[in-house]
Amino acid sequence: MIAKTTTIENTRNLLEILPTIDIGEPEDIFIAMENARCPKAELTIKEGDHVLLYQVIGMRYGPFFNQPIHSTVSGTFVGYEKHLHRSGKMVNFAHIKNDFKDEEDKSVTFERTPEEIAKLTREEIMEIARDRASAGLGGSSFPTYVKFDTKGRKINTILINGIECEPYITADKRMMVEHAENVINGIKLMQQAFGTKDARLCVKKKYKDIIAIYNMFLSEMPDSGITVCPVGNFYPQGWEIAMIKSATGISVPSGHLPSEYGIVNFNVSTVAGLYESVRYNRPIVERYVSVTGDGIKYPGNFSIRNGTPMKYILEKCGGYTHPEKKKVFILGGPMMGASLPSDDCICTKTVTSIIVLNHDEIKEENCIRCGSCVLSCPVHLKPVQIMNAVKAMDKDMIKALEPLKCIECGLCAYSCTSKIQVTDYVRRAKVIAKL
Amino acid sequence: MDTETIQFIKESAPHLRRKDSLVRMLLDVVIALMPVTVFAFIAWPLGALKNVLISVAVMEIAELVFVLVTHPMPIDLKKHSLIERIKYGLTSYRLSNFLAALVSALIFALILPASTSWYALMIGAAAGITFGKLLFGGTGNNLFNPAAVGMVFAKVCFGSSMYYTAPFAGVGEVIASPTYLAGGQYSILDLFIGNVPGTIGETCKIAILIGLVYLLVRRAADWKVVLTYLLTFALLTLAGGLTVTLPRGGNIPTYGEWVLSHLLSGGFLFGAVFMVTDPVTMPITTPSRVHYAMSAAIAAFFIRHFAALPEGVGYGILIANCLAPLFDYPKWSSEEWKKKDIIIASLLPALSIAIVIWAVFAGGFDL
């Protein structure tokens, strides 16, 4: 088939929007020491120490920022254990035995009244975001406070990414339905921080219910400056450059920051989470996660304590279907998520979804140069020619084809007539081009 | 629950694939060829049977041998019988191998006349698939359209024994008749419904158009290529017609009819639907595909009118196949329309028209 892919077909019967269920608390909580952005970490507590909910138990050291580590339950710290991290690496986790009391660390948390919040400056909000370890909850785990530092550039428009463009993940959608007030308060906080009125909440056109809910809320606040901005239903609409183009009409060239064009963008969960952090001066300890896939018995959206082991979550979902079949265990969306070699991993705060698929053997055929990958590529690369250059190990050609522009959306492999893993070749090309 | 027994497989993203396959695409082309094939069997029962049977058999055998040769048993210092070796090679033979050869074979059978002798068919089919496809590495790697290569080979070697016969003639009364391009006079309606002499697949334009609609609905052909090919050819024919008034005596009164009869004559429409659209032999990006279709149409036009041959569609497609890697050179081509793409796309037909006018006025050519 010679055709451009715009929407992802539901070929695997993945779940659509379902209400959120609190999955409960596990007995053991594991808190990641290092993560993808911070390769070094240190704990300030010793084995056997009693820890409180929200307590700062250590620090992560990154190349250009440090991030405090917070406990997500109250209980006893028993030691370190190695588990799989979302990034696929074996990482040290701090093992905390839950005492199910949720004793808060009163020295940290306090409530700010709306009046107090209204007085906060950008620097103060930035500081809260840093101390409460607020990070991009869309999956990037990019520290939020860095985005507040616009290097003196004037911000005109704040875009809130509620698109959740990966197909069949609905955690953000549920969050937007169930916590609309937090989202709106979070957007107001952003308006206050950046000193601009123009804030747009980007939602896919087809989610008429979400658009209606927010229009209802916003109609009571005529001067808020917040608008709901329905954008296209296509994939990858959630890619920040595609979103900025759809919402404002500005095309940001690759390699430039949106703030150079007066735009700053946040994920909707990040915004709602930051508001909670500011209101109660506490870090995020829970998040919404979609659990889905044809390898899971009871899929659903769950509210999950950070640090919960996957095995606990899967048990609550009734376990696996067809235990005799091989499974693919994916953290993240079906298009970009990474698959892990085992389910022995921990749900950290950047996990947006857990997908378990029954493994399908895909037979690759010869490329017939149909051109679907070229038609579908959102950054106008030529994935098939990159693949041929990688096969020929032609370094000059690989560089000329600019694989570093690739956003790894996966559309080239998705739309391949011959079922070739084109995206993998482009990933290899990126490695070669960087040499 | 015992999760220890579950086996996990690591695979890279994306984990979803479009409902689509190479087999589906090849099957679509085979289905699109069916109306033409059925017409051929009705109009020239014996000729069509001979053409199709011989070319399918030869090309399928060649493809099978190719699969066996390219997938030898690994050396393990043990003796294996020939049967074992063949069985091992056959594990690599897939449905797509069969269908790809079937598509080439059907097209090759349909672009030769019913009078083609069995040895011309055999040698043409073998040469077409070998030199056109297998030597380059099989499906997906070929530079040239295998059917066109086979047709050219058969015509060059055995052209003098080929002649065109009218359709629906009973057995025994075979009379060679001139095609439209060879000077025969036929009405547009006859050209359209296929009541004219020609190769067995190219005459019935209704059947070809049904195939075209099916291909476009199933997205098995790139509509931009078909459209560009048709438009460029029509434009050049119109320009030629305007330059030479009354091109064919008094018989063709209007330019519309002149253009239409050229579009409907010979193998042009068949080539436009089933041969230029072969994705393997065309460039990858949209602007390059447009340039490719233009050059195929221009080459077909010039060969048809200025060369010693009556028909140029097959040759034109082969010439464009040669140019495809040039249009497709990764450092030049791009999916976005750039200024130079538009310049090439407008210069190609403009220069061709200029050459037509110059050739007619200065060279004294008669179309």
Residues in A closer than 8 angstroms to B285, CB to CB, are 371, 374, 382
Same domain, A187 and A331: no
What average pLDDT does this structure show over A333-347?
A: 88
Asked if A334 reaches chain B (Cβ–Cβ under 8 Å), the answer is: yes
Same domain, A82 and A130: no
DSSP, collapsed to helix, strand or coil, labels residue A143 as strand
Which of A 378-417 lie inside 8 A of B, CB atoms? Answer: 380, 382, 384-385, 389, 397, 400-401, 408, 410-411, 413-417
Contact B33, B270 (CB under 8 A): no
Angstrom distance (rounded) from CA A3 to CA B337: 18
Q: Which two tokens stand for residue A49?
A: 């120490």
- Residue A425 covered by a domain: yes
The position carrying tokens 């950054």 is A379
- Residue A364 covered by a domain: no
Same domain, A270 and A135: yes
In tens, the pLDDT along B315-338 reads 999 999 999 999 999 888 888 899
Asked if B341 reaches chain A (Cβ–Cβ under 8 Å), the answer is: no
Does the beta-carbon distance from A359 to B24 stay under 8 Å? no
Same domain, A126 and A161: yes
| Strands of A122-186, DSSP E | 157-161
Q: Are strands A56-61 and A40-43 parallel, antiparallel or unpaired?
A: antiparallel
Q: Are strands A286-292 and A353-358 parallel, antiparallel or unpaired?
A: parallel
Same domain, A127 and A266: yes
- Residue A5 covered by a domain: no
Same domain, A121 and A183: yes
- Residue A15 covered by a domain: no
In tens, the pLDDT along B60-81 reads 999 999 999 999 888 888 888 8
Last-in-domain residue among A305, A329, A358: A358
In this prediction the ipTM stands at: 0.90
Q: Which of A328, A374, A415 sits opposite B18 (nearest CB)?
A: A415
Q: Which of B13, B328, B334 sits opposite A338 (nearest CB)?
A: B13
Same domain, A247 and A218: yes
| Interface-testing mutation among B1, B4, B5, B17, with chain A (most A C-beta atoms within 10 A) | B17
pLDDT for residue B252 is more than 60: no
Asked if B76 reaches chain A (Cβ–Cβ under 8 Å), the answer is: no
In tens, the pLDDT along B253-294 reads 577 888 888 899 889 999 999 999 999 999 999 999 999 999
Contact A7, A233 (CB under 8 A): yes
| Interface-testing mutation among B22, B224, B280, with chain A (most A C-beta atoms within 10 A) | B22
- Residue A4 covered by a domain: no
pLDDT for residue A67 is more than 90: no
Same domain, A275 and A247: yes
Does the beta-carbon distance from A385 to B11 stay under 8 Å? no
What's phi and psi for B115, nearest 5 deg?
Answer: -85, -5
Nearest to A168 by CA among A1, A17, A320, A371: A17
Which of B 217-256 lie inside 8 A of A, CB atoms? Answer: 218-222
Residues in B closer than 8 angstroms to A353, CB to CB, are none
In chain B, what are the domain boundaries?
21-201, 221-367
Last-in-domain residue among A280, A299, A321: A280
Contact B345, B291 (CB under 8 A): yes
Same domain, A154 and A261: yes
Per the structure, the count of domains in chain A is 3
Which of B 93-152 lie inside 8 A of A, CB atoms? Answer: 94, 96, 138-141
Walk across the sheet containing A40-43 and list its strands: A40-43, A56-61, A66-70
Asked if B6 reaches chain A (Cβ–Cβ under 8 Å), the answer is: yes
H and E: helices and strands count for chain A: 14, 19
> Degrees (nearest 5) of the Cα angle B236, B242, B244?
105
Check residue B66 and give its pLDDT.
95
Angstrom distance (rounded) from CA A223 to CA A77: 49
In tens, the pLDDT along B161-197 reads 888 888 887 554 556 667 777 777 788 888 898 888 8
Same domain, A123 and A65: no
In tens, the pLDDT along B208-248 reads 999 999 999 999 999 999 999 999 999 998 888 777 654 44
Same domain, A141 and A259: yes
Prediction pTM value:
0.89
Q: Which two tokens stand for residue A299?
A: 């899929």
Last-in-domain residue among A246, A280, A314: A280
Does the beta-carbon distance from B15 to A330 stay under 8 Å? yes
pLDDT for residue B5 is more than 80: no
- A25 or B360, greater pLDDT: A25
- Residue A30 covered by a domain: yes
Which residue in chain A is spatially nearest to B218 when comparing CA positions? A1
**Greatest CA separation for chain B:** 90
Nearest to A168 by CA among A27, A277, A81, A293: A293
Same domain, A209 and A300: no
In tens, the pLDDT along A377-413 reads 999 999 999 999 999 999 999 999 999 999 999 999 9
Which residue in chain A is spatially nearest to B217 when comparing CA positions? A1
pLDDT for residue B366 is more than 80: no
pLDDT for residue B117 is more than 90: yes
pLDDT for residue A12 is more than 80: no
- Residue A7 covered by a domain: no
Which residue in chain B is spatially nearest to A387 when comparing CA positions? B330
Which domain covers residue A209, as residue numbers?
A: 114-280
Does the beta-carbon distance from A382 to B15 stay under 8 Å? no
Angstrom distance (rounded) from CA B55 to CA A64: 68
